[in-house]
Amino acid sequence: MLVREHYTNRYDWLEARKPHLSASDVAATCEIGYKSIDKLYDEKMALKKAEDISGKPAVERGIEGEPIIRSEFAWQYKHLFSVANHPFDILYQKENPYISATLDSELTCKQDKITIVSPTGYTGTILLGEIGVHEIKSAEVQKKSGMGKWENQIPLMYLTQICGQLIATEWTYAILTAKIQRITYHKNDDEVIERDPFFTTYTRNYAFFSKDPFMQEQMGIAKKKVFAFKNCIDTDTRPVSAIKSFQG
């Protein structure tokens, strides 16, 4: 059964998140992403405070861009979905409260049926009234080859986060909207390479489905990694040995 904890401010929300793993934390237990599993262990054991990354350019870009991307999606696809934002809600399953999610948006299907092909190759359907995850990303690509990470796929860290959100909600689908800035450069009159003042922006939408065999496999892997990490917390054991023995 889905549990929704509602908070009205950031401080209470941050305090309430501490016993849970967020979608980003799930990625860390899989040893994917910006945070190491060792840092996550220190945070959950209250050995160290979580690093404040709010001032980093990429994080600032994401925070500033999220409401804009959400509004654009709601406007472009208003015939398909209604879009709701609950920034201080924590969602998890009563039977499995350890994995939680605070979503960028929640989508509700407004059509009798929507059929979408996932980047995994799976063809999924979304039915009238079905609620789904909406994940929003802002990315900056410095090289042309970097766009390859977004061509009919998403970076593995984000896929793992989607897995965590689908596990926490047990909803049938998730849509990731990415706003990708392609940065280019030129030589000035002094033959010095400079960044172009303007960039090309691409918007990509990707759908993932919990019934997709590929996603079920990935979600199963994520669950095993999370419970191996939880065992480390419960037994006061650093995760290196526990996770490696679990894998082996």
Say how far apart CA 138 and CA 146 lie, in whole Å. Answer: 14
18 CB contacts (<8 Å, ≥6 apart)? 44
Q: Which of 206, 131, 137, 214 is nearest to 169 (CA)?
A: 131
| E strand map for 20-172 | 81-84, 89-93, 96-101, 105-109, 113-117, 123-127, 131-141
94 CB contacts (<8 Å, ≥6 apart)? 1, 2, 3
The better pLDDT of the pair 173, 148 is held by 173
Kindly report the average pLDDT of the chain as a whole number.
90
The pLDDT of 180-189, averaged and rounded, is: 84
Rg from Cα positions in the chain: 19
Residue with tokens 């980047």: 119
The pLDDT of 199-212, averaged and rounded, is: 95
pLDDT of the residue at 215: 97
Under 8 Å between Cβ of 111 and 77: no
Q: Which helix (DSSP H) or strand (DSSP E) does residue 186 occupy?
A: strand 185-187
Say how far apart CA 181 and CA 183 lie, in whole Å. Answer: 6
List, for residues 116-156, the tens digit of each pLDDT value. 999 999 999 999 999 999 999 999 888 777 788 899 999 99
Is the pLDDT assigned to residue 164 strictly greater than 90? yes
Is the pLDDT assigned to residue 178 strictly greater than 80? yes
Whether the model clears a pTM of 0.75, i.e. scores above it, the answer is yes
Residue with tokens 């409260």: 97
The pLDDT of 34-62, averaged and rounded, is: 80
**Residues comprising the chain, all counted:** 248
Which domains are present in the chain?
2-247 (3.90.320.10)
Say how far apart CA 209 and CA 126 lie, in whole Å. Answer: 9
pLDDT of the residue at 245: 40
The better pLDDT of the pair 103, 36 is held by 103
